[in-house]
Amino acid sequence: MRTVMLLLALAMLPGCASQVAAKRQRAPERAARFADGAAARPAAVLAAESVALADPDNEDATSDRSVVYEADYQILVPSAREAGARFLEHAKTLGGRLSSRSLSRVEVRVPAARFQALLEFLPGLGRVVAESVRATDVTDTVTDLRLRLQTARTSHTRLLSLLDKTSNVEEILAVEKEIRRLIGEIEQLEGQLKNLSEQVAYSRVAVAFRNLKNTTSGSPAARGPSRFWWINRVGVESFDD
Amino acid sequence: MTRATAILVCTAVLSCGTGCLHLDVPRDFLVVSSWTDAFEVPPAAHIAAVAADEAQLRVSSFRDDWDGNLDYWYQALEHDLVDRRGYTLLQRADRQDAKGLSGREMVFSVTHAGISKKYLVCVFDAGQRIRVVELTAAAEVFDRHLEAVQAAIATLR
């Protein structure tokens, strides 16, 4: 009866798992082993769990909202290669890092606090023809992940205590199975939380550079010439002829 | 000399009096191109000068096929540059050439070939011809030429 109740209780726990020791280890040794495994969480994950990021514009430095900032730009430039290099160099000076790069597209991640500074740099590279800036509030998701993680850890601790107290082989096997599942879930939640917190901490900025061939926005070639021919012969564009 | 040739030469010589352009080009500029097409009626003319920092000055004379007046051309030019080409009008002023003919000047900012530039255009209605003085340069060097070019516009004849 005791075994059945124990299994029912285990089934109700938000589970997870890791590695299990030898079946016939003494209970205290097993408990210590599982406890060590759970304590070996990466420092980055622990830091991620407590991350509280400020708004990039610093409008509310005390805000504990978790926001993911992303931007996609298209810029007309004289030289896509040169502009891409300048963009990447500036992003690095702001503490950013390269995510991906092709001939005409560069994607970087910069600290969220420098996101706005990087966007303000972009018009200096050329003519911005398209821009998309998004701010996604992930506070609820982060909170949910933290709660689930906390619950899983609490269950893990309880199971370790239970393991200390039991001597029945079947019960030990059942508890260890649940502990394995529980540790797996903890690791998964930690991974999700780490990934999300990195997205919050480092904003993504992607820029597609397009070479322009001596065209000015809305030039007669693009928007139709004036009906007066002499007007088509004046202007900045006409100096290229 | 045939009679036809003589007529053409006479026409060219006579018409040059209204078609030729002259401008006291500011010292910072070197004239790189200057010509008069005396065989166009009325003659077309053109002066182009360049500064060491690549500021470009140009004076042109266009045939007015439509007999527009100064107000009309001024508005048509502003409409084309602002509404069709995306220029931003920064300032405007009235000018006079060496003979007291009224002209209208506009200064714009525009990004061209990825470079932020400024552009001055001053238009005069000289009867059968439209005279245009233009200055373009990178935004950071434009202002250093502006005053000299505006003074030069007063020497246009």
Instruction: Tell me which chain A residues have a C-beta less than 8 angstroms from the C-beta of B121.
Output: 234-235
What mean pLDDT is predicted for residues B70-83? 90
Q: What is the mean pLDDT of residues A51-64?
A: 46
pLDDT band at residue A63, thresholds of 50, 70 and 90? low
**Would you call B153 exposed, middle or buried from its count of C-beta atoms within 10 A (0-12, 13-18, 19+)?**
buried
Token digits of residue A142: 């982060």
The span from the CA of A200 to the CA of A202, in Å, is 6
- Whole-model pTM? 0.44
Q: How far is A127 from chain B (nearest CA, A)?
A: 6
Q: Which residues contact A113 (CB under 8 A, 6 or more apart)?
A: A54, A56, A58
Which amino acid is present at A222? A
How many Å lie between the alpha carbon of B99 and the closest alpha carbon of chain A? 23
Question: Would you call A241 an interface residue with chain B, using a CB distance cutoff of 8 Å?
Answer: no
Cα(B77)–Cα(A228) distance, rounded to whole angstroms?
9
Q: Among A236, A238, A239, A241, which would you mutate to test the B interface (most chain B Cβ atoms within 10 Å of its Cβ)?
A: A236
Q: Locate tokens 């107000």: which residue?
A: B71
Report yes or no: A97 at the B interface, CB cutoff 8 Å. Answer: no
> Which has the minimum average pLDDT: A46-60, A102-116, B111-125?
A46-60
Q: What is the pLDDT of residues B14-61, one digit of tens each?
A: 444 445 788 999 999 999 888 776 555 555 678 899 999 999 999 999
| Residue B154 reports pLDDT greater than 60 | yes
Convert the pLDDT of each residue in A211-221 to its tens digit.
765 445 444 44
Nearest chain A residue (CA) to B67 = A228
Note the pLDDT of residue A232.
87
